[in-house]
Structure 1
Amino acid sequence: MINAIRLLVTGFLGVFLLVPAAFSQETHTSEQATFQVETFAKGLERPWAMAFLPDGRMLVTERPGQLRLVDADGNLRSEPVPGVPEVAARGQGGLLDIVLHPDFENNRLIYLSHSIFGEDGMTTAVSRARFQDDRLEDLERIFTAKPFSGTTRHFGSRLAFDREGYLFITVGDRGEMDRAQDINDHAGSLIRLHDDGSIPEGNPFVGQEDAKPEIYSYGHRNPQGLALHPETGVLWEHEHGPRGGDEVNIPRKGLNYGWPVITYGMAYTGGTIGEGTHKEGMEQPLLHWTPSIAPCGMAFYDGERFEEWQGDLFVGALAMTHLTRLEVEGQEIVGEERLLEDRGQRIRDVANGPDGYLYVAIDASDAEILRLVPAE
């Protein structure tokens, strides 16, 4: 059980209940660094994504539909942030990713991906709002993936802004794999929008009949990782395969990443999928995992606490319960190391902290956020 500290605050501040951080530490030795694992925050329910505010506080989405605020010292506010959109918390759906606008300090805009209900089932949506006085205001939906579907899986939902200010959104194939090859269907694609949800004129399928103009690339299965390379600004993506065939890609404008025509995975029933692993006109992944690690969340480390890790790509693993460190040279992956395997925890998200440490969100009903710090 988590001990609560009740603080009585006079005046207009009212009464807040804070859950104190417990900085327990474990020391780990890896190929390039010796580090300690601290329990930074506790008491979260199915956290899906983390975003740091300029003042060092952290916003955390919980899949059942709540947005939580964690103080810079690790204290979890007991009351959820008001004003979040209504979500369809069914199956793999719910309140999912969160990202701050690149000019957040001036416009206070945050973006949330989430699943919603409609007459024809569920789909992935993105809403934006202003974070003012620790609440969301002026909430508006800026994207809805179409068509809706009766399934409750593969929503994708990772968000990222690139250096040109475009907003990228991943949409999974919704468990209906052939949809990923249909460019008149948002499922199984990477979406590119302006920050207000409008469609860039430079998108590859703008003006093309029977194509969704929001699509940037397609042939993706269930992408749950997006990250910009800290030096080049190139966008990297990863996605779940079926039984094997998880992929790391660099998505390019208008290109087809093959699912389900080509894959390194196999059907859950044991049979083959598609036409093999290669086909002309379809892209190869930079890396694939077989058996599947179920990748989720990713971040290039760009802090100063771990000089040995700078530029490395960190990926969470749900099925294989570890944190993967990938060594990157240019646009190639040249090495891999698995960390935190002994903990046996499903890792949902990875983020760089403003303090230079690496943060990891655990997927559990009573979950914690871990912080990796150099060993003393």
Structure 2
Amino acid sequence: MVVGGCLLGVGAAQAQDVVTLRDIFAIETVQTGMAFPSSIAFAPAPDDRIFYVERFTGNIRIIENGVLLPAPFANVPDIATAGEQGLLTITLDPNFAANGFVYVYYTQVAGPPVPIEPTWRSIQDQVFSARCASCHVNPSAPAGLSLVESDSYAALVGVASTQVPALERVEVGNPDDSYLVRKIEDHPSIVGQAMPPTGALLDPDIMLAVRDWITAGAPYNPGDPSNPPQVFRNRILRFTAVGDTGTNPTIVLDDIPAGFIHNGGSIEFAHDGTLIVQVGEHGDGNAAQSLGTLAGKILRINADGSIPLDNPFVGVPGAREEIYSYGNRNGFGIAPDPIDFFSPPRVYVSENGPGNNDELNIIESGGGDNFGWPFVTGIVGNPSYTDPIFAWNPVTAPTGIIRYSGGVYHPSYDGNLFVSLYNLRELVLFSGDFTAVISRFELTPDGSSLVRASDLMVARFPGNPRPIELTQGPDGLVYFTMVNVSTSDGTLYRIVKTDDDDDGCGNASDPAPGVFSADGDGDSYGADCDCDDA
């Protein structure tokens, strides 16, 4: 959430264990010990509170005066936490100071859980689709390793393992010698890394169902794939803050399609007071092209859940009128334009591709764009679809996105897009640490197209964390969370400027840190260090 105001009153200190690889910035630690902070939101000045959500616990937490309050603001009940589900996003009403409204987007358990049965259908839904999604249940899975529903049975039963050829992936009637069983039960001396590689191992009752299915002859009994049990839904819920307590939970938008994967989940208010909502296609690419469902869409609704009359599909027969764009696969970041106040708003969107072509998209004022999924990805020049302004290859899994309007860094950063990259990281040899990247995209003055791409931040973090949330604080600084997805341990950081004269050379290496250097090459970034020179 982007808000304006004065200096944020939090007790931040420079992160001693983080090494920045550019000396014009430093990284300060704002809060440690956070439980998978998937999204944060700042209360407007003079309120100094930071709200955030814990993805797996359902708790909404508050940091006040640099202290994490011991009692949650609220707990969202019936959170679903398999795959890419959870309590995903939080944002505050533009009139929060007056009404105290806090909005969250989450995946809810919408019905009784489907029993874990020794059937191929149950295993497909509750093992492969739920826990193997990031590596195996997507179109980019390596040949022979796809666990997409149409491929999984043929890829497993009676097929020799590529890692341990003496074992079949599923040996009919013999779970003990099935590679799949040894993989999910974690026998590292035989099969190497366990499956799934991150997070907890499968529950014992799920492992038992897999064993029983194999013992029974691994029958192909899919049931009715056209009508799988719907036990999840995504929902937007609003709380009213009374002090540091959330009260009066109210459903704003319900029955948003959900799945084990591709739930999207970013929600942000635009300048006109409408709420922009990012919804994934829950693994069903064709749904992204259907105007009759909210899956695979960017939505625009009023704060009370009603439909803005100037939405692009208002009055279109069979169309959901909440839709602002379609043909979207899945993403974790939207940024309604905070600078150019078009009405309806322009929205910048980060989008995750299948195995190539992660995208940076723009929904121009008025919406109605079709970004092409599942028929096209990347920049293709097909007039039937809207091309992204940038595509990542190889993929980087972009997460948070903002259009910077803080005015704290060098003036050349104003109006830029910043995007955090979940997968663009490198292991630092001999340390076990990883570098993390926040990309920078300079735009034309009207904000409609790309000038060039570079990096805002490249930094080395201890352990194995990944950037999740990215936002702008009321002090004009960029804030981001890093989360170790194996342990859920998270930290909130902010980026401060260490280049007093804005010449592209950090104070520590600038022979005259109080004097702006001559711009010898005419690129407007300074000359003596010129960190941003392309």
- What range is the shorter-chain TM-score in? 0.7 to 0.9
Residues 193-237 of structure 1 deviation map (CA, whole Å, 9 limit, x = unaligned): 111001122222223222212111100011221113332133211
**Shift in Å, 1:22:** 5.7
**Shift in Å, 1:85:** 4.7
- In structure 2, give the amino acid aligned to 1:255: D
Residues 1:260 and 2:364 are matched in the alignment: no
Counterparts of residues 170-249 of structure 1 (less than 5 Å): 170-233=278-341, 234-249=346-361
Range with bigger deviation, 38-47 or 207-216: 207-216
Counterparts of residues 333-372 of structure 1 (less than 5 Å): 333-338=450-455, 339-343=457-461, 345-364=465-484, 365-372=488-495
Structure 1 runs of 4+ off > 6 angstroms?
Answer: none
1:45: which partner in 2?
35
Q: Which runs of 5+ in 1 are unaligned?
A: 1-19, 265-275
Match of 1:103 among 88, 95, 119: 95
Q: Please give the alpha-carbon distance, in whole angstroms, between the structure 1 residues aligned to 2:372 and 2:389.
A: 13
**Shift in Å, 1:323:** 1.1
1:135: which partner in 2?
245
Q: Is the 8 A contact 2:334 2:350 kept in 1?
A: yes
Q: Please give the alpha-carbon distance, in whole angstroms, between the structure 1 residues aligned to 2:336 and 2:91.
A: 13
Q: Please give the alpha-carbon distance, in whole angstroms, between the structure 1 residues aligned to 2:262 and 2:292.
A: 18
2:52: which partner in 1?
60
1:297: which partner in 2?
400
Q: Is the 8 A contact 1:216 1:254 kept in 2?
A: yes
Across the aligned residues of Structure 1 and Structure 2, the Cα RMSD in angstroms comes to 2.1
Range with bigger deviation, 83-92 or 121-130: 83-92
Q: Please give the alpha-carbon distance, in whole angstroms, between the structure 1 residues aligned to 2:252 and 2:338.
A: 27
**Shift in Å, 1:99:** 1.0
Q: Please give the alpha-carbon distance, in whole angstroms, between the structure 1 residues aligned to 2:440 and 2:451.
A: 11
What TM-score do you get using the length of structure 2 for normalisation?
A: 0.61
Q: Please give the alpha-carbon distance, in whole angstroms, between the structure 1 residues aligned to 2:51 and 2:244.
A: 10
**Shift in Å, 1:24:** 2.7
Q: Please give the alpha-carbon distance, in whole angstroms, between the structure 2 residues aligned to 1:210 and 1:67.
A: 37
**Shift in Å, 1:29:** 5.6
- In structure 1, give the amino acid aligned to 2:63: V
Please state whether the residue corresponding to 2:391 is helix, strand or coil: strand
**Shift in Å, 1:59:** 0.5
Please state whether the residue corresponding to 1:340 is helix, strand or coil: strand
Q: Please give the alpha-carbon distance, in whole angstroms, between the structure 2 residues aligned to 1:71 and 1:23.
A: 19
Q: Please give the alpha-carbon distance, in whole angstroms, between the structure 2 residues aligned to 1:286 and 1:124.
A: 29
Q: Is the 8 A contact 1:247 1:285 kept in 2?
A: yes
2:140: which partner in 1?
none
Q: Please give the alpha-carbon distance, in whole angstroms, between the structure 2 residues aligned to 1:105 and 1:305.
A: 24
Please state whether the residue corresponding to 2:325 is helix, strand or coil: strand
Q: Please give the alpha-carbon distance, in whole angstroms, between the structure 1 residues aligned to 2:64 and 2:300.
A: 32
Range with bigger deviation, 83-92 or 44-53: 83-92
**Shift in Å, 1:341:** 4.6
1:328: which partner in 2?
443
2:70: which partner in 1?
78
Range with bigger deviation, 340-349 or 156-165: 340-349
1:271: which partner in 2?
none
Q: Which runs of 5+ in 2 are unaligned?
A: 1-10, 112-229, 425-435, 499-506, 508-534
Identity %, equivalent residues: 31
Q: Is the 8 A contact 2:274 2:303 kept in 1?
A: yes
Match of 1:312 among 416, 423, 429: 416
2:265: which partner in 1?
157
**Shift in Å, 1:23:** 4.1
- In structure 1, give the amino acid aligned to 2:441: L
Q: Is the 8 A contact 1:145 1:186 kept in 2?
A: no
**Shift in Å, 1:340:** 2.4
More contact order relative to length (CA 8 Å, sep ≥ 6): 2
Match of 1:117 among 109, 132, 137: 109
Q: Is the 8 A contact 1:43 1:76 kept in 2?
A: no
Match of 1:36 among 13, 20, 26: 26
Q: Is the 8 A contact 2:339 2:405 kept in 1?
A: no
Please state whether the residue corresponding to 2:331 is helix, strand or coil: strand
- In structure 1, give the amino acid aligned to 2:397: A
Q: Is the 8 A contact 1:351 1:360 kept in 2?
A: yes
- In structure 2, give the amino acid aligned to 1:97: T
> Max radius of gyration: which structure?
2
**Shift in Å, 1:78:** 2.9
Q: Is the 8 A contact 2:20 2:459 kept in 1?
A: no
What TM-score do you get using the length of structure 1 for normalisation?
A: 0.85
Instruction: Choose between structure 1 and 2: higher helix proportion.
Output: 2
Q: Is the 8 A contact 2:14 2:26 kept in 1?
A: no
Q: Please give the alpha-carbon distance, in whole angstroms, between the structure 2 residues aligned to 1:27 and 1:38.
A: 11
The change in CA–CA distance for 1:278 and 1:121 in structure 2 (over 3 A counts) is farther
1:169: which partner in 2?
277
**Shift in Å, 1:188:** 0.3
Please state whether the residue corresponding to 1:179 is helix, strand or coil: helix
Please state whether the residue corresponding to 2:74 is helix, strand or coil: coil
Q: Please give the alpha-carbon distance, in whole angstroms, between the structure 2 residues aligned to 1:157 and 1:114.
A: 7
